[in-house]
Amino acid sequence: MGVHPPETGAVSTDGSGPINGATVSMTHPVSARLFFYLYQQVSHAESMKIQSIASDLFYIPLPEVLTDSTHGVMEHFALVTVRIRDNQGLEGLGYTYTVGKTGGAAILSMLEFDIKRLLLGEDPNEIDRIFDKLWWALHYVGRGGIASFAISAVDIALWDLKSKRANQPLWKFLGGVDDQVKAYAGGIDLQLPIDRLEAQTQDNLDRGFRAIKMKVGRDKLEEDVQRVAAMRDFLGPDLPLMVDANMRWSVNQATEAAKAFADYNIYWLEEPVIPEDFQGHRRVLVEGGIPIASGENLHTIYEFEKLITAGGISYPEPDVANVGGITIWRKVAQMAEQAGLPVTSHGVHDLHVHLLAAAPNASFLEAHGFGLERFLEYPLQIEEGFATAPSRTGHGVCLDWDALEHHRGPNLN
């Protein structure tokens, strides 16, 4: 129970008088001022409560149909938003997403039926404790999967709320290293013919990018090598080029591919094999001879710990929208730093720009191709290869709710 404010007239003008039945003697005016200062601090701290949580699901059509080696043809992504309002009227926004429409309704259901009742009345400042509460309440059906997506959205909303309350942009609130974050364009382009691949790349260069990622994992390795060679030729010898296999290969296939790509100055090979094969990652890294990035399909801190300690990763790539939110993303980044590794990101670049701007071991920001910018008031801008972390308070993402309304997903009721 919080400290109740004194009723009018309960304290006399000289600072003495009964408060809630107790007599407080403060004849000295300095003592009175000190008492009220302390009272306000305690009262304010104890009065913060989560008053409401609103969760919503939207099926967002992609600007163009996309393909990669694992998810096939993608026409939509599911966007799940969480708005957490405290009892002082301040609101934090969190969100997560899935590929296609799959899983969005399950995340919404967990938020509505399980998480909402666990959050109401909690102090939104106590983010670590709330994370722990949600983690263990959902443990039996969680430890990753849908639960990690739902917790992520909540955690992001809480950090947004907390940094807004502190009147700081999120990246500064988290420690602030550099608001200039180098960024690459993440193409989802496996089925594009080479001329369209190059046209898309030129468009990305025109938009300010100075690093490019392309998909690999076609049916024949020779096709991948041909496309990578064409891209390297198009970009020149030095512009950073990443390739992403989306888990398509066995360890032997991935190692063979890595060796074949080694002639083309590849910045990293992403997700060469299934995410859980930590020793397999190590084999591809050691035998293939080019750096490895992975992590968008790891949804717990424990999985990242195993991958890093296995020595199977050059660029850990946590996704704040599915790894457990900002709380866990930062722990992965710190774990990477302790292992002497940089940290990169996957998806949701409007959030990750803050996290990388606050990470001393930041590598590239992925600018993702799902096209959320059509629903944002302030889309991320890229200049000469760098994104700038916003100076607005919180994460500063302002969604166009009216535009989203046209894409609302199914109602749970």
Distance CA 159, CA 171 (A): 11
- Pick 111 or 353: Cβ nearer Mg ion: 353
Report which residue's Cβ sits closest to Mg ion.
244
- Pick 48 or 241: Cβ nearer Mg ion: 241
Residues whose CB is less than 8 angstroms from the CB of residue 188 and which lie 6 or more positions away in sequence, other chains included: 66, 67, 68, 74, 215, 369
CB of 332 to Mg ion, least distance (A): 16
162 is annotated as an active-site residue: no
44 is annotated as an active-site residue: no
Distance CA 293, CA 174 (A): 24
Specify whether the CB–CB gap between 349 and 368 falls below 8 A. Answer: yes
Binding of Mg ion by 224 (CB under 5 A)? no
Binding of Mg ion by 244 (CB under 5 A)? yes
The token duo for 126 is: 């106590």
Binding of Mg ion by 366 (CB under 5 A)? no
Helix, strand counts (H, E) of the chain: 14, 14
Amino acid code (one letter) for 323: V
Interacting stretch for Mg ion, rule CB under 5 A, among 5-13, 121-129, 241-249, 305-313?
241-249
Q: With CA atoms as reference, report the closest residue to 58 among 405, 412, 413.
A: 405
Place of tokens 């739902």: 150
Binding of Mg ion by 68 (CB under 5 A)? no
DSSP state, residue 398 = -
Q: With CA atoms as reference, report the closest residue to 268 among 220, 307, 233, 316.
A: 316
Interacting stretch for Mg ion, rule CB under 5 A, among 3-11, 106-114, 239-247, 323-331?
239-247
- Pick 272 or 409: Cβ nearer Mg ion: 272
- Pick 57 or 216: Cβ nearer Mg ion: 216
CB of 232 to Mg ion, least distance (A): 19
CB of 296 to Mg ion, least distance (A): 5
Binding of Mg ion by 86 (CB under 5 A)? no
Active site positions, annotated: 215, 346
Contacts to Mg ion by CB under 5 A: 244, 270
